[in-house]
A and B are shown apart, each in its own frame.
Chain A
Amino acid sequence: MYRYDEFDETLVKERVAQFRGQIARRLNGELTEEEFKPLRLMNGLYLQIHAYMLRVAIPYGTFNAKQMRMLAHIGRKYDKDYGHFTTRQNIQFNWIKLEDTADILEDLATVEMHAIQTSGNCIRNTTADPYAGAAVDEFEDPRIWAEVIRQWSSFHPEFSFLPRKFKIAVTGAPNDRAAVRVHDIGLTIKKNAAGETGFEVMIGGGQGRSPFIAKTISEFVPRDNLLSYLEAILRVYNMLGRRDNKYKARIKILVHEVGIEEIRRLVEAEWENLKGETSVDLPAEERDRIAAYFRAPSFETLADTDTGYEARRFEDRDFRHWVRSNVVAHRQPGYAIVNISLKPTGGIPGDISGDQMDAVADIADAYALDSEIRATLQQNLVLPHVKLSDLPAVYDKLAAAGLATGNIGLAGDIIACPGLDYCNLANARAIPIAQQISDRFADLNRQYDIGNLEIKISGCINACGHHHVGHIGILGVDRKGEEHYQLTLGGRADDAAAIGEITGPGFSADGIIDAVDNVVETYLSLRQDPAERFIDTLERVGHTPFKENLYGPKAA
């Protein structure tokens, strides 16, 4: 993984000192809250219902055991001994004091971590495929480019006061695990006819109040021109994006209102000009310097399988099930990708205690190459490079820490935003709904029978819980002071990305649990065979039978 050199280290430290000064000027009244707020947001600090909340970046989802231990330490020393992994490869601490924040950031800097640009109307933490460097279908590691973008976008002199936040995601595999089509810019690494590497560039995706799937602005931008192309897009957006209405300020609205053809024309014209004016594009030696950090770790030469592992799989049903749902094929023979579910039955999605963080760090040190860990878009963790022969030990240790729930990609693997339990913007609670659904589907055998099902819950229309792209999406609304929930079906965030459709009238907090159950039962009764996933059945039969079962034949 990337390691800071003296420049990165200096900059992150200077940034902490700068923010320390800004906090002091806020506390002594030199800065008003209005002036301070954008500064603290650009350092990841929100003010929430109960206290300040600090969002720490896990750049492109890659970190290691030492950094995980630091997160545990932050939780223990400055918070209430836990953290919350989000859908954007960040971790949030919910009980932070303003007066501690500079010390926290200083602690984080000692392990090359930061909270820079995890919020604010700037270019946010760039996200990437959590299986990067390990996936079978990948042809180039997206983290090289995510790191290139991290550096270019940090403290950008032109793009730190954009109309609104700006999120970029990169994938280097045809199976999109980074949800690139629901980002302001989505990048897919590809090769052109001449065999050169470049990017398909998509813009204007997003969720929130008005969800959009991104549109392709360029089929192919050569890799060495990526930054100038991004700079052209950002400049067009900075100049033309709406600033009169916060809800219309994202680039998706600009693309929608002006049209992708016109935006393409403007961006290409800007890009032509830029190419002659600035040297923003990296020289090959810098690209190669960064790429070298992401070279494959030193894998051992191993057989395709391992007898100890096979034996355990044969003997132990729980282990077998865990392997089936949580372990994914690795490109290197004899290795596997291990998913760690942060969705225990009835638990709070994404929450992890300090002890659990330490346990994951210990396991990573003992069994994961280079002690590497990843954070996923599903609020889970990944050990990207584990030997098959170590899987039984990894499983046992995870189980001892309460982290071996075998439900990845299943009904219990629910995404939920913090909702009204923590979030100032919420209309309704999201976590208790996730907990009740998880309890309802507590029987893992039922979950295996149902198969792949993505349930996603947001506590308001900002859609931090991705409900628009859930196979089953749930949106909390406030109806005359009562928590109420809308149901959407058919959303997805993969390479066939789509926005879910609302089924009809919403449900009470109890009713929504039954409604989800009802939808699942409809699916089970309609699927052609167990291999047909929920999302495929829905696509084949349409929404009507689901609505009929939910509301009765007339209503549908």
Chain B
Amino acid sequence: MALIKNGTQVSDQWLVAADDTPVQADIPTIVSYKRFLAERDTLVRSRAELGVKLVPGDDVSAIAADLPRLQVVALDFPKFTDGRSYSTARLLRQRYGFQGEIRATGDVLRDQYLFMKRAGFDAFQVKDGAEAQGWIEAMGELSHYYQPAADGTNAVWAERHAIAAAE
């Protein structure tokens, strides 16, 4: 597994902990959503950097209040055709104002990067290989977007009228 962030492969500092692995203060740890809900009070008081991993169907609003305490939210794609995590990512960015890392895990493919980035993902856990290069290529495949989303890029209509106003 490799992690791509900002167009380069980076080393992954995060431990994705099984539900019965204790959280240690000096190890940045991603716990499951279920565990987070069950052990919330202890976890938020621990000194470890924390992340939570949601699978499709988990309700992101249940962790909304704790987002400022989290450095990472991992959203899983059990199959790349399951598009629910795109909605969750947009909710995190646009409704709950989450500023930390949103990481795509699971069946993460190059041809989905651009959708993911626009939905608010900024880290991609991918199979080993020439993935970072693929990421850079995929990001350049489209140069405009018809609709605004969670990545702050302007929609085409905003570009159109910015040009019109400038002329």
In the assembled complex, which residues on chain A have CB atoms less than 8 Å from the CB atom of B156?
7-8, 11, 151
Q: Does B39 contact A (CB under 8 A)?
A: no
* Cβ B109 vs Cβ A35 within 8 A: yes
Q: Does B45 contact A (CB under 8 A)?
A: no
**Interface residues in A, total, Cβ within 8 A:** 43
Interface residues of A, dominant DSSP:
helix
In the assembled complex, which residues on chain A have CB atoms less than 8 Å from the CB atom of B116?
157
* Cβ B115 vs Cβ A273 within 8 A: no
Known contacts: A157-B118, A238-B84. The answer to whether A283 contacts B157 by CB under 8 A is yes
A146-157 vs B, CB cutoff 8 Å, 1 = contact: the mask equals 000001111111
Q: Does A14 contact B (CB under 8 A)?
A: yes
Known contacts: A121-B81, A154-B146, A155-B145. The answer to whether A286 contacts B109 by CB under 8 A is no
In the assembled complex, which residues on chain B have CB atoms less than 8 Å from the CB atom of A160?
83, 86, 115
- Whole-angstrom distance between the Cβ of A304 and the nearest chain B Cβ: 41
Q: Does A289 contact B (CB under 8 A)?
A: yes
* Cβ B159 vs Cβ A7 within 8 A: yes
- Whole-angstrom distance between the Cβ of A15 and the nearest chain B Cβ: 7
Closest residue of B by beta carbon distance from A38: B81
Q: Does A243 contact B (CB under 8 A)?
A: yes
Residues facing A in B96-119 (CB within 8 A) are 109, 111-112, 114-119
Residues facing B in A430-468 (CB within 8 A) are none
Other-chain contact of A157, B111, B115, B159 (Cβ < 8 Å): B115
- Whole-angstrom distance between the Cβ of A352 and the nearest chain B Cβ: 31
Q: Which of B4-12, B30-38, B87-95 contacts A (4 or more CB under 8 A)?
A: B87-95
* Cβ B142 vs Cβ A15 within 8 A: yes
Q: Does B147 contact A (CB under 8 A)?
A: yes
Closest residue of A by beta carbon distance from B153: A157
Q: Does B47 contact A (CB under 8 A)?
A: no
* Cβ A280 vs Cβ B148 within 8 A: yes
In the assembled complex, which residues on chain A have CB atoms less than 8 Å from the CB atom of B117?
157
Interface residues of B, dominant DSSP:
helix
Bound form: Cα–Cα A285–B161 in Å: 8
- Whole-angstrom distance between the Cβ of A444 and the nearest chain B Cβ: 47
Q: Does A551 contact B (CB under 8 A)?
A: no
Bound form: Cα–Cα A407–B119 in Å: 50
Bound form: Cα–Cα A275–B34 in Å: 31
- Whole-angstrom distance between the Cβ of B109 and the nearest chain A Cβ: 6
Closest residue of B by beta carbon distance from A18: B141
Known contacts: A277-B95, A278-B94. The answer to whether A158 contacts B86 by CB under 8 A is yes
In the assembled complex, which residues on chain B have CB atoms less than 8 Å from the CB atom of A238?
83-84, 86-87
Q: Does A323 contact B (CB under 8 A)?
A: no
Bound form: Cα–Cα A429–B7 in Å: 51
* Cβ A280 vs Cβ B147 within 8 A: yes
* Cβ A161 vs Cβ B86 within 8 A: yes
- Max chain A C-beta neighbours (<10 A), residue from B82, B141, B159: B141
In the assembled complex, which residues on chain A have CB atoms less than 8 Å from the CB atom of B42?
none
* Cβ B82 vs Cβ A289 within 8 A: no
Bound form: Cα–Cα A10–B144 in Å: 8
In the assembled complex, which residues on chain A have CB atoms less than 8 Å from the CB atom of B90?
157-158
In the assembled complex, which residues on chain A have CB atoms less than 8 Å from the CB atom of B83?
121, 158-162, 238
A1-44 vs B, CB cutoff 8 Å, 1 = contact: the mask equals 00001011011001101100110000000010001001100000
In the assembled complex, which residues on chain B have CB atoms less than 8 Å from the CB atom of A31?
111
A258-288 vs B, CB cutoff 8 Å, 1 = contact: the mask equals 0000000000000001000111101101100
Closest residue of B by beta carbon distance from A42: B111
In the assembled complex, which residues on chain B have CB atoms less than 8 Å from the CB atom of A7?
144, 156, 159-160
Bound form: Cα–Cα A155–B115 in Å: 8
Q: Does B143 contact A (CB under 8 A)?
A: yes
* Cβ A152 vs Cβ B147 within 8 A: yes
- Whole-angstrom distance between the Cβ of A16 and the nearest chain B Cβ: 11
- Whole-angstrom distance between the Cβ of B116 and the nearest chain A Cβ: 8
Bound form: Cα–Cα A7–B157 in Å: 9
Bound form: Cα–Cα A71–B81 in Å: 32
Closest residue of A by beta carbon distance from B117: A157
Known contacts: A278-B94, A289-B160. The answer to whether A11 contacts B80 by CB under 8 A is no
In the assembled complex, which residues on chain B have CB atoms less than 8 Å from the CB atom of A21?
137, 141
* Cβ B161 vs Cβ A283 within 8 A: yes
Q: Which residues of A contact B (CB under 8 A)?
A: 5, 7-8, 10-11, 14-15, 17-18, 21-22, 31, 35, 38-39, 121, 151-162, 227, 235, 238-239, 243, 273, 277-280, 282-283, 285-286, 289
Q: Which residues of B contact A (CB under 8 A)?
A: 56, 80-84, 86-87, 90, 94-95, 109, 111-112, 114-119, 137, 141-150, 155-157, 159-161, 164
